[in-house]
Structure 1
Amino acid sequence: MMDTRLDTAVPAGADPAQYARLLHRVHEAAVTGAAPPARPRTVIGDSWLRMRARRIDPDGRTPGPVLSSADLARCREDSPLAGVLPMLRHALTAVAEDAGHMMVIADDRARILWRDGPGHVRRLGDRLGFVEGSSWDENDVGTNAIGTALVVRRPTQVYSAEHYVRGHHSWTCACAPVHDPRDGTLLGAVDVSGPLSSNHPSTLALVGAVATLAESHLRGLHHAHLEELRVVAAPMLAGMREQALVVDSAGWTAAAVRMAPVRRLLLPEQLDAGVAWLPSLGECRFEPLPGGWLVRPLSVETAGAAVATLDVARPAALSLRVVGPSGEWSHRLSPRHAELLYVLAAHREGRSAAQLSQDLFGGAARTVTVRAEMSRLRRHLGGVIASRPYRFADGVEVRVVGPPVPGDLLPHSGSPEIRRLRCAGLPAG
């Protein structure tokens, strides 16, 4: 799920102290409009552009309001990373302490949920507002490893004056996002941070490896839960004569009888026992199971006209919400699926696989990849997406909710068509 490209902050062979001084001159030129002595790394330069567009103050000091103790406890309890916290601590804390850093776990909104490390490093972090419950989203504190990594969706290191806020120039951070291995949803991030003197070139590789390990562990937990659900449901399914599915609370399929299994059902946000409408199966009866649902289709017809709202306003919360005659549902999108749907929203006449390959990758050679991704999308979205050509189905009204700043449109994306649409504006809703 995770993009494992490594772009370390300090070039190989460079003297860290001399390089930090160069970065100070580059930063000063960027915020004053002077000619820079060198170009910042692409990930940093792009982030600085976002900061200037948002009028972030480079002389700001600390994050905004910190979560209360009760809100922090609730966020920790709700975080999917809580299930892998012991593993993350085991993998990161000792290494971070040896290197004079602290280990940090953040949620998908860049809020620090947990941190561990030597007392003197934590006290330095306290002075920066780098504390549990604080938000390190780019909008709050400018360019930084946690906030920027969650925007670009890949491991990111920020060193010294690469931080947009001058008060953070004494700090270095390396962060990697953690995604849900089932569908690519952003869950949070793992970070190692500390004073400049403790910078080490292997830190970025370390957090990237730990994030990958966390995703693997989450995948194992998911498979174990589905197996438990299959065991619970087996006696009930054995004598069943009609079509039925057993899914977990998030809609992932554990078992199916008398029908082709789907990888996942998109369940309504509010679901109770009884009858509800699904985009791919129509009216279904839901019966609760421990940790999931027994789903019995009552009709194979998909309900008619629908309104699909593609929300790309926040990189960490990409989603498609569909309202139909019999109900509504919402689906969190991976960055790639958000790109595809945005392009289709801009081209309501439809796009072939070759055209989408050109749109996303700059050439027609990736049609196999496009077809595979579109196949996954159509399994999730049922009758919302049609094929030959790929398009939003007839009768589906499409609306797009975009970011207030056009340059923030899908900032993780480097696809040619997304870059063009950033300049051209949002497709008509």
Structure 2
Amino acid sequence: MRQEHLEAAVPVGADPRRYARVLAQAHEAALSGARPPTAPRPVIGASWQRMRLLGLDPDHGRDDPPLPEAELEARRRGSGLADALPILRGGLISVAEEAAHIMVVVDGDARVLWRDGSAAVRHRADRLGFTEGASWHENRVGTNAIGTALVARRPMQVYSAEHYVRSHHAWTCAAAPLHDPRDGRLLGVVDLSGPAATVHASTLALVDAVARLAESQLRNAHLAELERLRAATLPALAKVDGRALVTDEHGWVAAVSGLAPVDRVTLPAGCGAGQAWLPAFGTCRLEPVPGGWLVRLAERDEGEPVPTTAVLDVRSPRECVLTVTGESGAWSYRLSPRHAEMLYVLARHRDGRSAAELALDLFGDPERTVTVRAEMSRLRRRLGGILARRPYRFADDIDVVFQQPDEPDLVLPHSTAPAIRGRG
């Protein structure tokens, strides 16, 4: 469950119009390189810095024509968001119409898939190019609630001159990310946008609450799929000699035989039938079943192949991946933002970190060891012998390779961890 602090764009008790003027002064100072009279919120300041590094035009952004209708329809079908759309519409459209807003749903590439709400605001959005098929990525339209939420991986409200591109200063937006419960993949964002004068502190909380309901709907649909897979494969599983389990295509376990229950296993990249090495179980044999895999566990062999190289790829702010290779092949594990931070720190400290040191690295507080131990336990269940403990570290015989952006500010841009942002 998400635990983010929802930070409103306008400070409590501040007059929105007066605060918009303060933001405009800070924006102009930031663009000119002068010292701003008031510093923007850290998440906004970090986004402005990324835009300056990209050389984005603060007056017009970067032109990017909307998708053709056929491609837009294909993206809608493949987005994974269609099942969540009724809840998003049911929770937000009436509010959008009454509050002079529009509801916008974008995919993980920040392409606008659906747009509903106030007709008058839709017309204003048309003039801005904020239409179905348009890209609302930071690198196209600058700092905005949609694109910045995709990078920061958290709910965002952006008001007036917090937008990097000046033509967006007349707007206020509140957006919350939507994740796939099967693999944690960031599916996209749901957003409420409207004239800046309509800004309200409760908008962000509403959007985030509806996004959580939509994710719950996706989670329930996934649980129903697992139950159908379990019912369909139990007869075949009952005939298997030895230890075995049935998973869906994402590694979620529907049923087990001969071993303790487990929620999920990490499957190889490009999973196919035949022998494979799984972090939690070692050498296994995978056999396809409708909707997933029958995984037969081999008896443990002290001489079985072990992984030799781990590639930590944090080049994309949307998707950080750990790829492990060895004699038995390769597999990839998509990392959550927190797990990406932890592995980044461990890769930088090959001699290891204690729970207190990791807590200081990640939170600036050495007392938060309970959180660190819980997350490391989850990681070690997924990654098996890749990680060692006492202290926490990559196993000594693993060669760790980094793939990261050249600019430090673009490394895990969602992160506020002191060890990553250069404060630890």
TMscore range, shorter length: over 0.9
Percent identity, aligned pairs only, is 59
> In structure 2, what is the equivalent of residue 370 of structure 1?
372
Alignment of 1:223-238 (within 5 A): 223-238=223-238
The Cα RMSD (Å) is: 2.0
Find the aligned partners of 1:300 and 1:66 in 2 and give their Cα distance: 54
Alignment of 1:51-90 (within 5 A): 51-61=51-61, 63-90=63-90
- Matched position secondary structure for 2:343: helix
> In structure 2, what is the equivalent of residue 201 of structure 1?
201
Deviation for aligned residue 1:421? 7.9
> In structure 1, what is the equivalent of residue 408 of structure 2?
406
Alignment of 1:26-425 (within 5 A): 26-61=26-61, 63-181=63-181, 184-301=184-301, 303-420=305-422
222-231 or 300-309, larger mean C-alpha shift: 300-309
Kindly indicate whether the alpha-carbon contact (under 8 Å) linking 2:50 and 2:410 is maintained by their aligned counterparts in 1. Answer: yes
Q: Which amino acid counterpart does residue 330 of structure 2 have in structure 1?
A: E
Distance change in 2, residues 1:388/1:14 (3 Å):
closer
- Matched position secondary structure for 1:418: coil
- Matched position secondary structure for 1:315: coil
Deviation for aligned residue 1:5? 1.3
Deviation for aligned residue 1:182? 5.3
Deviation for aligned residue 1:66? 2.5
69-78 or 94-103, larger mean C-alpha shift: 69-78
Deviation for aligned residue 1:188? 1.4
- Matched position secondary structure for 2:51: helix
Find the aligned partners of 1:358 and 1:18 in 2 and give their Cα distance: 38
Find the aligned partners of 1:112 and 1:246 in 2 and give their Cα distance: 37
Deviation for aligned residue 1:402? 0.8
Kindly indicate whether the alpha-carbon contact (under 8 Å) linking 1:279 and 1:303 is maintained by their aligned counterparts in 2. Answer: no
Deviation for aligned residue 1:403? 1.6
Find the aligned partners of 1:57 and 1:280 in 2 and give their Cα distance: 49
Identify unmatched segments of 5+ residues in structure 2.
Answer: none
- Matched position secondary structure for 1:154: coil
Q: Which amino acid counterpart does residue 208 of structure 2 have in structure 1?
A: G
Find the aligned partners of 1:102 and 1:276 in 2 and give their Cα distance: 49
313-322 or 21-30, larger mean C-alpha shift: 21-30
138-147 or 229-238, larger mean C-alpha shift: 229-238
- Matched position secondary structure for 2:422: helix
Distance change in 2, residues 1:62/1:199 (3 Å):
farther
Kindly indicate whether the alpha-carbon contact (under 8 Å) linking 1:63 and 1:136 is maintained by their aligned counterparts in 2. Answer: no
Find the aligned partners of 1:299 and 1:272 in 2 and give their Cα distance: 21
Q: How many residues align?
A: 422
Find the aligned partners of 2:101 and 2:217 in 1 and give their Cα distance: 24
Deviation for aligned residue 1:357? 1.7
319-328 or 17-26, larger mean C-alpha shift: 17-26
Find the aligned partners of 1:226 and 1:316 in 2 and give their Cα distance: 27
Deviation for aligned residue 1:318? 0.9
12-21 or 214-223, larger mean C-alpha shift: 12-21
Kindly indicate whether the alpha-carbon contact (under 8 Å) linking 1:359 and 1:417 is maintained by their aligned counterparts in 2. Answer: yes
Deviation for aligned residue 1:299? 4.8
> In structure 2, what is the equivalent of residue 25 of structure 1?
25
